[in-house]
Amino acid sequence: MKLTYLSAILLLASPFVQANGLDLNLSKTMPAIEKFYLDLHQSPELSYHEQETGNKIADKLTQLGFKVTSNVGGFGVVGIYKNGEGPTVMIRTDTDGLPIIEQTGKSYASKVKVIDEHGAKVGVMHGCGHDIHMSSFIGTAEQLIVHKNQWKGTLMMVAQPAEEVGGGAKAMLSEGLFSKYAKPDHIIALHVSASVPAGKVSMKNEYTMASVDSVDITIEGKGGHGAYPHTTIDPVVIAARTVLALQTITSRELSPLEPSVITVGSIHGGSKHNVISDEVKLQLTLRSYNPNVRSAQIAAIKRITAGIAQSAGLNESNYPVVYVHEDESIPSTYNNPAQTDIVRNSIASAIGDTNVLETQAVMAGEDFGLYGRTDENIPITLFWLGGVNQAQYADSIKTGEVLPSLHSSKFAPDYKVAIPTGIKAMSNAAVALFNK
């Protein structure tokens, strides 16, 4: 009783906070937003090619009264709207599509085909739902302007390119995102979910997505005739030992309480049955949450590969070369608990407690995590926006049929429910952070 009384007083005392969040009437604006979504969906662009997409976002933000800068870190767009004294809240969307031929069978499916950097003709699809993100983003910007009497501060809308290749956040930050435009006090983003029903959101405090590293290992041997193995040092055998030994890093060296994935996704060596080759190449992906685990993974990979090469009789100068693609490295996404609590509560008050789910962390990565790892140390929150059609979701529970995942050619989010939910969730989260 005491608490209820206290919160009632707080509600009365604040001119901005509403018991049920912003009073959004989206029925008028949804037709235009849906049109925007269908246009984006039918004209996806690959990472580093999001020029038209960036222009469309820039136009919308300009129409809404934002001060807009285009071509930030590639085809990134920054929109700033100053609305009096107060904190700066940054909302981020990503803008790129994927090289996938859409097979959803929808009337509005993408038919776009382009020539990729290898000269191959590829289909392009918003297979990760970044078109849902952009539509929610523009809808949110619009609602926050319509309801600007309910918050004070600076609204910073950031449309980031090249998420799928882990390059966009890095490029926008290195072009001075936080120094040239505004330094946010809070940063929020959403990602559509292929496992949560539309109309709901889910989130978790602390680590929510993993760090991602790509590692190449080149194992040198001494090639020769397949019939005279004693005159060679066979890199295929060294590679086989190495692949197995790498499995012991997660299982034997790291704490079972610290998540870690080391996957050898590619192995290439040799050309013929009876030739022992000179080298074998491995390609690995590493995942973890804790930065210390990442360092330990990389150190162990270097030690194990060198040790196996030594045991095979190679000189130190011929030990395997371990190359970590630092330029593509993405840190884990850490949801600041205090901020994420505010986001969760504000969304619950807008769409209902039962529509806000707790979720588990995933080993997939997002370069959104980078915004929380700069010297400015800004709290970030990424939440999942349900994308699965509710009837389809109920069916999949009944039949056990696996739903198409993100990056699937069959992923078709229920945009008519997901986008308005995204707008309500994001607008309310932003207002709660402005009025904190």
Query: Which residues are at the interface with Zn ion (CB under 5 A)?
Result: 128
From the CB of 127, what's the least distance to Zn ion, in Å?
7
From the CB of 331, what's the least distance to Zn ion, in Å?
16
> Nearer Cβ to Zn ion, position 254 or 380?
380
> Nearer Cβ to Zn ion, position 157 or 342?
157
CA distances from 382 to 88, 91, 156, 372 (A): 17, 10, 16, 11
> Nearer Cβ to Zn ion, position 96 or 142?
96
Q: Which amino acid is at 165?
A: V
From the CB of 281, what's the least distance to Zn ion, in Å?
26
Kindly give, in sequence order, each residue whose CB lies less than 8 Å from that of residue 266, ignoring residues fewer than 6 positions away. 281, 282, 283
CA distances from 169 to 68, 215, 259 (A): 18, 21, 24
From the CB of 191, what's the least distance to Zn ion, in Å?
6
Q: At 130, list the tokens.
A: 């970044």
Torsion of CA 426, 428, 433, 436, to 10 degrees: -170
Q: Which amino acid is at 268?
A: H
From the CB of 86, what's the least distance to Zn ion, in Å?
30
What does the chain come to in residues?
436
From the CB of 203, what's the least distance to Zn ion, in Å?
16
Residue nearest to Zn ion (CB): 128
Kindly give, in sequence order, each residue whose CB lies less than 8 Å from that of residue 257, ignoring residues fewer than 6 positions away. none
From the CB of 383, what's the least distance to Zn ion, in Å?
13
Facing residues of 186 across strands? 89
CA distances from 124 to 49, 95, 121, 206, 418 (A): 11, 13, 10, 34, 22
From the CB of 101, what's the least distance to Zn ion, in Å?
16
> Nearer Cβ to Zn ion, position 10 or 165?
165
> Nearer Cβ to Zn ion, position 59 or 328?
328
Closest CA to 235 of 299, 297, 324, 321: 321
What are the two backbone dihedrals, phi and then psi, of residue 432, each rounded to the nearest 5 degrees? Answer: -65, -35
Q: Which amino acid is at 222?
A: K
> Nearer Cβ to Zn ion, position 128 or 212?
128
> Nearer Cβ to Zn ion, position 128 or 190?
128
> Nearer Cβ to Zn ion, position 271 or 360?
360
